[in-house]
Structure 1
C-alpha cells in the first residue's frame, strides 16, 4: 500500500462501518421498507398458518442488525450522480439489504453454520426446538435446513420486488433491473463455485487467483459492485460511468472478502458472531488456504485431516501462520484497497461520493466482524 493511501486511510473513526448516509433519515426509511415487506408476508396467503406467522418473526430478526453497507453504497452513488427522488434509493437500498439477508440464510444452510451475528440462526433455531420436542436429530436437522431455504426464498422474492419498484422510478428501468439481476446470478454462480471447489481432490490445490475469481462473483459483485452501479444507473448515469464506479467497488469488495476469510480462520467468535473453526472444518476454499498451500504444498494434507476430524483446527491455523498466509492475504487486501482508492482519485470528482467510498475502503481493512 502506498504511503499516500496509508495517510488517507489512517483517520480516526467511531468504528468499523459506522457510516451515515447524506440523508439522516435514509437508513431508517430503508429499515421501514424491509419491515413493511416482512409484515406483509402474513397477509399474502389465505388462510395464514401459524407457521407462516412465526416464520415472519424470524425473518424480521434475520433482517435486523448488520452494517447496512449496501444501502449506503446505493445512496452515495445515487446522490453522487445527481439523483433527487426521495424514494427510489430507499427502495433499491432495501432491495440489496434484503438480498443480502436472503443469501446469508442460504449460506448458513450450505455451510451448516449455526450462528449468525452471534445468535442461533434460523436453521439452528428450528432444528433445536424440534429436537427438544422429541424429533429425531437427523429429521430435525433436515427440517431446520428446509425452513431456512424457504425463509431465504421469501426474502429473495421481496428483494426482486423492491428492486423493480425502484427501477420503475428511473429513466432507464431496464438497466437498473439488469444490474440487480446480474448481482443475483453472479452470487449464485460464486456460491456454486465455492461448493464444488470445496469438493476438489486434495492433490489438486487451487491458485489464489482462482479463489479470487470465485469470491469476486460470490461476494464482491452483489455487496459492492452492483449497489454502486445500480445506484448510479438509477440516477441516470451512463453504463460506462456506472461501470467505472463498479470497478472501484469490485476491488473494495474483494478486499472485504479477503478480510472475511481471515476473520473466518483467525477471528474471535465473540466479535465475529460466527464460529472461527467452521471454515477449516468444512474444508472451505479461501484465499488464506490457497496462499498457504502455494507456499507449502504439505499444508494441503494438514487441512484435509482437519476437515476429516483427525486434527484440531488449531493445528491448521498454526500451520497457516507459519507459511505467512495471513500476512500475504492481508497484504493483498491492502493492495486492492489501494487500487480502489487510486481509481476513486482519478475518476471521481471531490465530494460526498468519493469521500464515502474512500472511507469504506479504509474500514474494510479495519473491521473485526
Structure 2
C-alpha cells in the first residue's frame, strides 16, 4: 500500500538530533517511510490514499512504554473493553507491556510466570487492536527463577523482564536476575517508588543502583515518588533511562526533566502513562504529560514529543518512533484544537493545551482521518483527498 500525507506545515521527527524538519510531505510505501519532503506529483498520483493535512503537522506515533495489558483489548482493573483502540485515538500507535501483572489470579511460581509471559507474547504477536502495535510478554521476576529459565523464555521470543512485583524479601534480591537478563539482551524494567499493590515493596535509589536496569519505571512515582535526594543520584550515578508517567507525581516529573536537561542527557527521559491502573483509562495521558513538561517545565515541544516517541524506540529497540526514510510508517497528524486560543499544535502545547489528533497511521495504513473520538476537532481540515481503497477512513462511526 502507498499512502501520502501532503500540505504539512512541518515534520516533528522524534529524533533529538534533528527534532524538526521543514517538509510538507511524507510518502509511505509497504509499511515504511519512503520519502520526507516535497513529493512529486507523480508519486502522489500513484498513491492508494492521499491525506491532505491542510497545514497541520505530523509527528511519530506515540509509544506508551508502560501499559498494563492483560489478554485482548480488555482491562480487568477498569472492566473496560476496547481501551487500546481508544488509546490509538489519542495518538498512541505502540504499547509496551509493563508486565501482565493485572491478569486475574496471575501465577507466582517460576513455571507459571514463564508461561504467562510466553502466552502474552504469542497472543499479541499479530493482534493489533485498532491497528496498534502491542509488545507483550514481560516476565515478572519471582523467587526460584534461574538463569536457565531466563534463557528458555528468551529463546521463545520473550525479551522483557520486570522487577518489583515478585515475592522477594528485599529488592536487592532482584539484582542477580536483572543482571542475567541484561546479559541475554533482554530489556529490564524496575518498579520505582512506594508500594503500588498489596504485597509489593518500595524501591529507591540504592536498590536501583544495585540492579542497574535499563529503565527505572515511573521514576516520578507509581503513584508514590522516591525521596527528592534520590533523583540526582539516579541521574549522576547511572545511565538507566528514567521514565515519567502520567499516573505519577507531577512535581517530580518536572524535577526529573530539569535534572536530565541540566546534565545534558535528555535522551534518557521517557514518557509513559502507567495505565490502566487505579488512575483509570487515559487515552490522552501521553499528550497531557507532554503538555505539562512544555507549559510548566519550559521544555521545547519537539523535545517532549521525542521523549514519548524516538527515545522510547531507542531504549526498546523499536523500528517506529522516528520519522525517517526506512523507519516504520507510524504517524500522527496533529493541530491546535478548534475553538482554542492557539494557531498550531506547538503553540497549543506551550499554552498547556493538548493538540488535536487529525489522523493516525500505523504501518502506513490510515486508521482514521479527520476526527479523533478523544480530542476536539483540528483547527484545519484534515481529510482524505484521494482514495483507491474501498474503505471510509473518517472514523465517523466512533
- TM bracket, shorter-chain basis: under 0.3
TM-score by length of 2: 0.24
TM-score by length of 1: 0.25
Pick the structure with more strand per residue: 2
